Structure 1
Amino acid sequence: MATGKVLEWHDDEGWGVLSSERTPGGCWMHYSALVEDGYRRLAAGEQVRFVWESVDQDDYSFRAEAVWPAGTEPFDERCPDPDPLVEEAPGWYAYVPDPADAARHGVLASAEQRSAALVSGDPDNLLHLLHPNFTWTTHRGDVLDRASYVRANTEGSLRWLEQRLDDPRVVIVGSTGVHTCVVHDRVVCDGVELTFAMPVTQIWVEEQDRWRCVAGHAGPAR
């Protein structure tokens, strides 16, 4: 366990960096690791306590598994069980994570990166997150392969303004993760701004220490 502060926080992308003596160089965190009711966010300079693991994550050597504002009660149903907290030295604890927990965080982070790639309109970032055998079924029933999906979302008259993932849930089976959520989309199509909300299912597979989306389905629109 470590006490530190929020070094930076990217509210639009849902991730940040924590600093502490126990995590030199910074500790990467995803918003899903924040143990707080309601809308989960932090602010630069805020004091926090957190448990972490040593892992390569976006050029950082540490990743937070559970984070809570200093002075609040840390353990609830979303917080890791105290049993995996191993005392490395008097007063210093490290979290020994369940591999499935780390996998779930990896899928959630990758899903958020996919949404960010749509909004940025960057085809290279989007391709990086999609498996070569990727297929996507749209809410209209069209089935797109990897190349046509990237073209449809980065070229032509469609421009993404926002995609928010609500109520995300992940089930891990071996090296496969099933991610379900409700997406809230805001796009411009042929010069007209449109908003949608619909359930989405994504299938992610882990290969060479990274998660890639191999299939997905959106809809029906609400």
Structure 2
Amino acid sequence: MAILATIRRWNTHRARGVLDSPETPGGCWAHLSHIARPGPWDVQPGDEYMLEWEHAQQDGFAYRAVRMWPAGTAPIDPVVRHNSSAYSSSLTLTFDED
């Protein structure tokens, strides 16, 4: 279930920051990859985001974002396309006859 959270701080160069909400006391660590919206992103302190989180120790925080998106919008998860040729491999074994 998503909760409303506010960006406390955001480091654009490191692509991560901290969100605050009553459900995540002390703050919730988040990374740019957790944003469920297509980029570009302009995350600023004070922005409100919907947040899905988990209990996890991350950089001194007891909570870590699983997914987040700007409040008032719907989450849009990226479509992952797999090119089968990029993931193919083969192995050929040959044995000498005795």
CA distance in 2, matches of 1:35, 1:24: 23
Question: 2:5 is matched by which residue type in structure 1?
Answer: G
CA distance in 2, matches of 1:37, 1:13: 18
| 2:77 pairs with 1:77 | yes
Question: 2:23 is matched by which residue type in structure 1?
Answer: R
User: Runs (4+) of structure 1 moved beyond 4 Å?
Assistant: none
Aligned to 1:5: 6
The structure carrying a bigger strand percent of its residues is 1
Kindly report the root-mean-square deviation, in angstroms, between the aligned alpha carbons of the 2 structures. Answer: 1.5
Listed one character per residue, the Cα deviations across residues 28-65 of structure 1 (whole Å, up to 9, x for unaligned) are 00000011212234100001111000000000000001
Aligned to 1:46: 47
What is the Cα deviation at residue 77 of structure 1? 3.3
- Consecutive unaligned residues in structure 2, runs of 5 or more: 80-98
Question: 1:17 is matched by which residue type in structure 2?
Answer: V
Under a length normalisation based on structure 2, what TM-score does the superposition of the two structures give?
0.74
Question: 1:32 is matched by which residue type in structure 2?
Answer: S
CA distance in 2, matches of 1:56, 1:50: 17
Instruction: Please give the residue correspondences for 1:161-200 in structure 2 after superposition, counting only pairs within 5 Å.
Output: none
Identity of aligned residues (%): 35
User: Of the two, which has the highest radius of gyration?
Assistant: 2
Q: Determine which structure has greater relative contact order: mean sequence separation of CA pairs < 8 Å that are 6+ residues apart, divided by chain length.
A: 2
* 8 Å CA contact 1:31, 1:41 repeated in 2: no
The structure carrying a bigger helix percent of its residues is 1
Question: 1:69 is matched by which residue type in structure 2?
Answer: P
Aligned to 1:22: 23
2:24 match: secondary structure: coil
Aligned to 1:59: 60
CA distance in 1, matches of 2:59, 2:42: 20
1:25 match: secondary structure: coil
Listed one character per residue, the Cα deviations across residues 175-210 of structure 1 (whole Å, up to 9, x for unaligned) are xxxxxxxxxxxxxxxxxxxxxxxxxxxxxxxxxxxx
CA distance in 2, matches of 1:47, 1:23: 14
* 8 Å CA contact 1:5, 1:48 repeated in 2: yes
